[in-house]
């Protein structure tokens, strides 16, 4: 009887030990106390930031911004997007949901909606109204985002937590704030104010009303953009008067100085737009008292002006270099403010980007490198004519978005044609055009399984209800554009996928890793640090700080 009781007691003891171990292993290898969390998480997304910008601009950076993050934080130097397309909307969604467009549904900055036969903007929501301004600027929400974000999971786990997101771009604020964010605020270039949507409430918070009344945008619009260094000091950039750069309206050359001409629109396409957002972020920390109670708060900042400058002038311009030197100063100012208001060591910062950028294709050609401009208008018109000859008369091509052909599926069905065969015929035909490296069909992305390579990237970016029927993959260095100056992004190649990822602050070791890591690992890593549920679409692959 005694032996039986001992056996039973031992089994019960093992049971409780296993329960305890199970719970600890789910938290982390070294379990934290539940009250051991940072006071504030600051997510920084620098729009259109290549990884190599850090090393290229390093000698001219100050000590208080990027160098502080790199020297005292942990850098993942081989960090990439693992899907196509690399645009702003999908990038912000992937960072905060921990998954790809195939799950979160954000397949572009916009896409074609078959049911309504019209375009859908990524955060458009006609049921909403503008708060803090007029017109349709505030008719936005995260309704198109189909999975939760790390910010959503924080709000569910700790309802007292505050989640605030700020950006020049609406999508740069709405997507990081998630479905449950307390506030997302973006720029109205007609008034110079920051506005929001009724999704977040019926009036602007008092601190934002006060910020708008400071009229910083009007002040910045009267400035002249001059380089912070002597023009000859930008030795890793093209000459100032480069034939590959776009210009501001009214300017004959893309050269310094650039007058803002009191334009509230122009300042967002200059470094002053980043400074404006930085001031807004500091005002949010003060106004919302972020990081000053027992509940972890979250501040999401998206610096969009780097993208506007990059598109217009290209990655090798003095304008881009100067924009990053100025952003570096803004980051130093922000970190100093966080030290004072939250306390050094009490907050986590992560810095990354939503995508990179390709060199201006014409400049690549001038240097004897491959690249070019793809004429999609001619290709799609030719495809329509080819399908008329091959299949029969009809408007077979319904739309073209994000290098994807949307076929008229209703017409194909009514004509008793095979959707798969028409997709394959279109894919074969498009291969003949210069600059097209390969094509994929929705059928092969939905029926095959790809674990690696470019087709796997296309598969991770494919959401059947929103994506097209045929994908065009351009060759490296090629752009789907009619402009010979300026540049863009969106490809599956390293110049668009390789971006920085730096963690800094609370419990973050100093170091770096060159192991290949991916954007969807950021959200589950933050969730793991905060000991909260992972975003519900995430694959839950946590980054290792080794």
Residues labelled as active-site residues: 88
- What φ, ψ does residue 453 adopt, rounded to 5°? 85, 180
Q: How many Å apart are CA 59 and CA 78, to the nearest integer?
A: 21
| H or E stretch covering 473 | strand 470-474
Going by the DSSP 8-state scheme, the letter that residue 478 receives in this structure is E
Sign of CA dihedral 49, 52, 55, 60: negative
Tell me the residue length of the chain.
546
| Beta partners for residue 42, in sequence order | 299, 349
Q: How far apart are CA 354 and CA 224, in angstroms?
A: 28
Range 429-435, long-range pairs (CB < 8 A, 24+ positions):
429/382, 429/383, 429/386, 430/379, 430/383, 430/405, 430/470, 430/472, 433/374, 433/375, 433/378, 433/379, 433/382, 434/372, 434/374, 435/372, 435/373, 435/374, 435/474, 435/475, 435/478
Specify the pairing of strand 193-197 against strand 130-131: antiparallel
**Cα Rg for the chain, rounded, in angstroms?**
25
Within 220-326, strands assigned E span 224-225, 258-259, 297-303
Q: How many C-beta atoms lie closer than 10 Å to residue 361's C-beta?
A: 25
CB 27 within 8 A of CB 207: no
Do 493 and 455 contact (CB within 8 A), yes or no?
no
Which residue carries 């301004």 as its tokens? 133
- Enumerate the H helices of 294-375 as residue ranges: 305-313, 318-341, 361-366
Distance of CA 358 to the CA centre of its chain: 16
C-alpha triplet 112, 472, 442: angle, nearest 5°: 60
Which residue, chain included where needed, has tokens 């924080």? Answer: 154
Secondary element (H or E) of residue 197 = strand 193-197
With CA atoms as reference, report the closest residue to 430 among 395, 474, 396, 389: 474
* 57 φ, ψ (degrees, to nearest 5): -95, -5
In angstroms, rounded to a whole number, what is the distance separating the alpha carbons of residues 216 and 474? 42
Of 331, 339, 347, give the one whose Cα is nearest residue 45: 331
Q: How many helices (H) and strands (E) does the chain have?
A: 20, 22
């Amino acid at each position: 009887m005694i032996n039986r009781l001992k056996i039973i007691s031992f089994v019960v003891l093992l049971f409780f030990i296993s329960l305890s171990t199970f719970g600890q292993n789910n938290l982390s290898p070294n379990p934290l106390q539940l009250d051991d969390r940072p006071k504030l998480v600051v997510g920084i997304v620098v729009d259109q930031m290549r990884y190599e910008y850090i090393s290229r601009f390093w000698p001219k950076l100050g000590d208080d911004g990027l160098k502080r993050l790199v020297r005292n934080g942990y850098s993942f130097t081989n960090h990439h997007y693992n899907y196509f397309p690399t645009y702003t909307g999908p990038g912000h969604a992937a960072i905060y949901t921990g998954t790809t467009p195939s799950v979160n549904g954000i397949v572009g900055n916009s896409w074609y909606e078959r049911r309504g036969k019209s375009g859908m903007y990524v955060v458009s929501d006609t049921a909403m109204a503008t708060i803090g301004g007029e017109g349709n600027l505030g008719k936005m929400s995260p309704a198109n985002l189909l999975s939760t974000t790390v910010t959503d999971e924080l709000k569910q786990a700790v309802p007292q937590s505050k989640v605030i997101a700020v950006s020049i771009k609406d999508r740069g604020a709405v997507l990081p704030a998630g479905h449950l964010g307390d506030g997302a605020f973006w720029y109205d270039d007609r008034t110079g104010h920051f506005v929001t949507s009724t999704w977040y409430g019926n009036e602007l918070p008092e601190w934002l009303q006060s910020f708008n009344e400071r009229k910083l945008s009007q002040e910045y619009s009267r400035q002249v953009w001059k380089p912070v260094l002597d023009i000859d000091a930008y030795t890793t950039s093209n000459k100032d008067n480069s034939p590959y750069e776009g210009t501001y309206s009214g300017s004959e050359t893309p050269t310094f100085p650039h007058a803002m001409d009191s334009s509230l629109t122009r300042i967002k396409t200059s470094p002053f737009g980043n400074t404006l957002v930085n001031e807004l972020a500091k005002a949010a920390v003060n106004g919302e008292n972020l990081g000053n109670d027992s509940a972890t708060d979250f501040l999401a900042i998206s610096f969009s002006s780097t993208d506007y400058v990059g598109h217009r002038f290209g990655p090798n311009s003095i304008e881009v270099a100067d924009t990053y030197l100025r952003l570096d100063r803004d980051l130093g100012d922000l970190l100093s403010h966080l030290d004072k208001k939250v306390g050094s060591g009490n907050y986590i910062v992560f810095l990354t980007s939503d995508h990179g950028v390709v060199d201006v294709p014409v400049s690549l050609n001038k240097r004897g490198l491959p690249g070019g401009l793809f004429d999609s208008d001619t290709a799609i018109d030719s495809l329509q004519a080819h399908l008329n000859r091959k299949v029969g008369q009809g408007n077979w091509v319904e739309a073209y978005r994000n290098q994807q052909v949307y076929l008229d599926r209703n017409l194909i069905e009514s004509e008793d044609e095979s959707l798969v065969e028409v997709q394959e015929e279109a894919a074969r035909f498009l291969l003949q055009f210069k600059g097209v490296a390969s094509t994929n069909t929705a059928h092969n992305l939905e029926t095959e399984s790809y674990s690696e390579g470019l087709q796997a990237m296309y598969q991770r970016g494919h959401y059947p209800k929103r994506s097209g029927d045929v994908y065009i993959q351009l060759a490296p260095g090629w752009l789907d554009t009619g402009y010979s100056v300026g540049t863009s992004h969106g490809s599956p190649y390293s110049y668009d996928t390789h971006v920085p990822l730096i963690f800094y602050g609370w419990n973050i070791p100093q170091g770096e890793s060159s192991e290949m890591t991916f954007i969807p690992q950021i959200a589950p890593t933050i969730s793991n640090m905060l000991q909260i549920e992972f975003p519900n679409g995430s694959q839950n692959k946590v980054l290792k700080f080794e």
